[in-house]
Amino acid sequence: MPEFAKRMETMKKSADVIRTLFGSMNDPDLISFGGGAPAKEALPIDTVREIINDIMRKETRGVEALQYGGVKGLEDLRKVIVDELLGPKGVKANVENIIIINGGLEAMNLLCQIFIEPGDVILVESPTFVQSVEIFDMFQAKCVSVDMDDDGMNTEELEMKIKKYNPKMVYVIPTFQNPTGRTLSLERRKKIALMGSEYDVIILEDDPYRDIRYSGEEILPIKAFDESGHVVLANSFSKIFSPGSRLGYILANDEIIEKLFDAKTATNSHTSMLPQIVCAEFFKRGYYPEHHKMICDLYRERRDVMMTCIDEFLPEGTKKVFPDGGLFTWVELPDYINTTDLLSESISNSEVKVAFVAGEGFFAEGNGKGSNCMRISFGSVTPEKIKIGMAKLGKLIESKIK
Amino acid sequence: MPEFAKRMETMKKSADVIRTLFGSMNDPDLISFGGGAPAKEALPIDTVREIINDIMRKETRGVEALQYGGVKGLEDLRKVIVDELLGPKGVKANVENIIIINGGLEAMNLLCQIFIEPGDVILVESPTFVQSVEIFDMFQAKCVSVDMDDDGMNTEELEMKIKKYNPKMVYVIPTFQNPTGRTLSLERRKKIALMGSEYDVIILEDDPYRDIRYSGEEILPIKAFDESGHVVLANSFSKIFSPGSRLGYILANDEIIEKLFDAKTATNSHTSMLPQIVCAEFFKRGYYPEHHKMICDLYRERRDVMMTCIDEFLPEGTKKVFPDGGLFTWVELPDYINTTDLLSESISNSEVKVAFVAGEGFFAEGNGKGSNCMRISFGSVTPEKIKIGMAKLGKLIESKIK
């Protein structure tokens, strides 16, 4: 067989991790705090049925749903994004600067296609989203980690590393970050936006959780402070509408968006039409505000239950992040507990059967960092199961305490 | 702004051509033989509405449609492909060797991701599908053309060029080829399959038109003669179900399909679920045979009208391909007529307003080859409009005759 391209060598490990995560979602006996999927109660099934039933009765809409569409994506949906999702968050945008993509993750792939040469440096948060790093690796970028604290990425270290590594891109998940649930402070957002133009580096702001804030104060996106066009905003409909629809979007300046249209054309022509139409109608027909309130109430309750359970069931000395939104928290156990080993046991032990994601995999720098940490998703687990699962997990951890 | 990656330099021209094609589809006054879209009468709008209305009443199916899915794609749909689309065409396949992708074109992107290093050679037909070449260019492959005749790619020249260029991949559209409508002969299919293993080269068989055959004898895919796993079969639901759904698939051996799962994970995680479910149900509920007959009857009539119109309205010395299926034909005008100039005039002249695709763009080798050729799509134009459009186009061409 002909040799595979070098870019594929990096993929093996992370792809396995992700497939295990996706796979473990389907074991009905397992209580999974592993996957980052939304709650099934948060999926607007009936509304989607009603919308489709209505639009597909009109021939022109039916044809629109099934025929080829434009590379930029449905204009109606781009308008919804500008008017209902970006405008209220302090981001002024033109529909022509938005491209609809096949899920939020495609943003990272397309941005790499247009910017990354093998060896280019991308600065990432430590820890950061595994699947994005996997994409950066596939494009043979060199990921360099920047430390975080409770206010998100450390901007002093970021500036130092920008000077040292001359990166092509800074990748940041500013709000209810994956995996930590942390939120970048307003002051740091302003600083990072400025660094984009000052050092001529792309700030890739990946913000799929920002729209599910259920406590605390709204903080404007980094993009709101971008004056030079160096900030590229990627977002997703996965958490506020439906992940299986694979809908996301990118907002970028004229020069970058033109290249993104080229790259999208050469990836898959355009995003599937029916999901775009249904999603646009979901907003245009006014279903979103009530739906949004419903999912925020749902996730707030689960967050609160999870916070209580962590305090109640995990050992003394455990640190946790209190997220004001999103789907997960980050837990740091006493440092002699290895969460990778713990996970193997907690999945396979029939008295436990609880999944989470071990911390190590989220650190691009490797070196065993985060080996006592775990990402705990509460979004897709009912309060009752959160209590049962955390009690079991706590008991297992208790048995490891020295 | 930071520099764009080198791979983006190649894109400008071809992306423009494609966008013009897509764009011109929307002018209501224009009779367009340009785009390769299916007829709107061939889109199963009512059936899709019925299916969705039914499945979304069941909570588990509704959740399946809106929640994250697996990277390989819906198992139901992969079964449909194996049992209903590949089996009857002489291709034995396992559902585990199939991946559902976001439209047929994504196959070329994913195959390049896993195989192509900058500078690798890909042999392509002369002429070939512009948009695939655009993808090969983006991956900085060197495309080398192999001549065709009425039986498709010339296999003697192919073998000679395989020896000369040591290519990574041979890209071939064997059935009702885009842009020519030609079909590769059975004998050549067998030879090409053998060359895959003999010279250790990937044969990328892109076969989106094969399922709309409306005359002549069925010919087995190249993949049916593959014993070593060097043939990778890519296909699409765009022409037999709906292009806007962006559904396609790849069949490959174990080693290659594993890498494709990795590359798909790092591109957009998985293909949109609702279109996959609807498409699978479309087949499982038995709608396909009747639909298939309807679209074949529709396209056969249009093909026949187009063939008559070419003979009637285009000048003596014009050569045409008589396609036994698919959506277009290839016309060679007297060689002093430049079809790129003709197209500018025929689109802008208010007496004409007829679009087609000028031949030159389909030749990866450039050099003005095909400058007197054009791709004429008849699939999406009614017989009445075919007659009107071809009469007008013929009159314009007549005025150019020396």
Residue A375 sits in a domain whose CATH number is 3.90.1150.10
Provide the edge-to-edge strand list for the sheet that holds B319-320.
B319-320, B328-332, B373-377, B357-358
A163 part of a folded domain: yes
The model's confidence at residue B22, banded by pLDDT at 50, 70 and 90, is low
Task: Note whether B192 and B213 are same-domain residues.
Answer: yes
Q: Report the residue from A49, A201, A272 with minimal CB separation from B244.
A: A272
Distance from CA of A311 to the nearest CA of B (A): 31
Q: State the pLDDT at residue B10.
A: 77
**pLDDT of A12 higher than 70:** no
Domain end point (choices B227, B260, B284): B284
Spell out the SS3 assignment of A264-294: HHHHHCCCCHHHHHHHHHHHHCCCHHHHHHH
Q: State the pLDDT at residue B378.
A: 97
A50 part of a folded domain: no
**pLDDT of B214 higher than 80:** yes
CATH number of the domain enclosing B143: 3.40.640.10
Average pLDDT over residues B258-265: 96
pLDDT tens column, A255-268: 999 999 999 999 99
pLDDT tens column, B333-385: 999 999 999 999 999 899 999 999 999 999 988 888 999 999 999 999 999 99
Distance from CA of A233 to the nearest CA of B (A): 16
- A4–B259 CB contact, under 8 Å: yes
pLDDT tens column, B175-204: 999 999 999 999 999 999 999 999 999 999
Q: Looking at chain B from residue 64 to 93, which residues have their Cβ under 8 Å from any Cβ of chain A?
A: 64-71
Q: Report the residue from A6, A56, A230 with minimal CB separation from B49.
A: A56
Residue A45: enclosing H or E segment and its boundaries?
A: helix A45-55
Residue A357: enclosing H or E segment and its boundaries?
A: strand A357-358
H-type alpha helices, B2-44: 11-24
The model's confidence at residue A13, banded by pLDDT at 50, 70 and 90, is low
Q: State the pLDDT at residue B368.
A: 86
ipTM of the complex, rounded to two decimals: 0.94
Q: Nearest 5 degrees, angle CA B107-CA B278-CA A263?
A: 30
Task: Note whether A308 and A236 are same-domain residues.
Answer: no
Q: State the pLDDT at residue A367.
A: 83
The burial class, CB within 10 Å (0-12 / 13-18 / 19+), for B317 is exposed
**pLDDT of B259 higher than 60:** yes
Task: Note whether A232 and A276 are same-domain residues.
Answer: yes
Distance from CA of B6 to the nearest CA of A (A): 8
pLDDT tens column, A337-385: 999 999 999 998 999 999 999 999 999 888 889 999 999 999 999 999 9
Task: Note whether A277 and A303 are same-domain residues.
Answer: no
pLDDT tens column, A74-123: 999 999 999 999 999 999 999 999 999 999 999 999 999 999 999 999 99
Q: Domain range for residue B122?
A: 68-284
Task: Note whether A84 and A218 are same-domain residues.
Answer: yes
Q: Report the residue from A6, A38, A266 with minimal CB separation from B135.
A: A266
Residue that has been written with the tokens 């001359």 in this structure: A166
pLDDT tens column, B317-328: 999 999 999 999
Among A45, A122, A165, the residue to mutate for chain B (most B Cβ within 10 A)? A45
Q: Which of A15-19, A206-210, A278-282, A339-343 has the lowest mean pLDDT?
A: A15-19
pLDDT tens column, A378-387: 999 999 999 9
What is the residue-wise DSSP string for B128-164? Answer: --HHHHHHHHHTT-EEEEEEEETTEE-HHHHHHHHHH
- Could you tell me which of A244, A247, A222, A394 has the C-alpha nearest to residue A306? A394
The rounded percent of chain B whose pLDDT value lies above 90 is 91
A76 part of a folded domain: yes
The model's confidence at residue B29, banded by pLDDT at 50, 70 and 90, is confident
A157 part of a folded domain: yes
List of chain A residues whose C-beta atoms are within 8 Å of the C-beta of residue B15: 261-262, 265-266
**pLDDT of A16 higher than 70:** no
Q: State the pLDDT at residue A14.
A: 56
Task: Note whether A366 and A250 are same-domain residues.
Answer: no
Q: Chain A contact for B38, CB < 8 A?
A: yes
**pLDDT of A402 higher than 80:** no
Backbone angle region of B120, left / alpha / beta, with phi > 0 → left and psi within -120 to 50 → alpha: beta
B49 part of a folded domain: no
**pLDDT of A15 higher than 70:** no
Task: Note whether B199 and B267 are same-domain residues.
Answer: yes
The total of structural domains in chain B comes to 2
Phi, psi of B393 (to 5 degrees): -65, -45
**pLDDT of B269 higher than 70:** yes
- Could you tell me which of A238, A234, A266, A236 has the C-alpha nearest to residue A251? A234
Q: State the pLDDT at residue A368.
A: 86
Distance from CA of A3 to the nearest CA of B (A): 7
The model's confidence at residue A22, banded by pLDDT at 50, 70 and 90, is low
**pLDDT of A253 higher than 90:** yes
How far is the C-alpha of B153 from the C-alpha of B145, rounded, in Å?
10
Domain end point (choices A246, A262, A284): A284
A51 part of a folded domain: no
Task: Note whether B238 and B93 are same-domain residues.
Answer: yes
B1 part of a folded domain: no
- B15–A269 CB contact, under 8 Å: no
Q: State the pLDDT at residue B145.
A: 97
Average pLDDT over residues A29-33: 92
Q: State the pLDDT at residue B366.
A: 85
Task: Note whether A104 and A249 are same-domain residues.
Answer: yes
Domain end point (choices B224, B256, B284): B284
pLDDT tens column, B80-129: 999 999 999 999 999 999 999 999 999 999 999 999 999 999 999 999 99
Q: Chain B contact for A101, CB < 8 A?
A: yes
The burial class, CB within 10 Å (0-12 / 13-18 / 19+), for A91 is buried
Neighbours of A364 (CB within 10 A): 25
Q: Chain B contact for A271, CB < 8 A?
A: yes
pLDDT tens column, A125-173: 999 999 999 999 999 999 999 999 999 999 999 999 999 999 999 999 9
Task: Note whether A370 and A231 are same-domain residues.
Answer: no
Average pLDDT over residues B212-218: 97
Q: Looking at chain B from residue 201 to 240, which residues have their Cβ under 8 Å from any Cβ of chain A?
A: 201-202, 229-230, 238
B59 part of a folded domain: no
Task: Note whether B333 and B259 are same-domain residues.
Answer: no
The model's confidence at residue A24, banded by pLDDT at 50, 70 and 90, is low
Task: Note whether B117 and B161 are same-domain residues.
Answer: yes
Among B113, B115, B254, B291, the residue to mutate for chain A (most A Cβ within 10 A)? B113
- Bridge partners, B287 (sequence order): none
How far is the C-alpha of A320 from the C-alpha of A329, rounded, in Å?
7
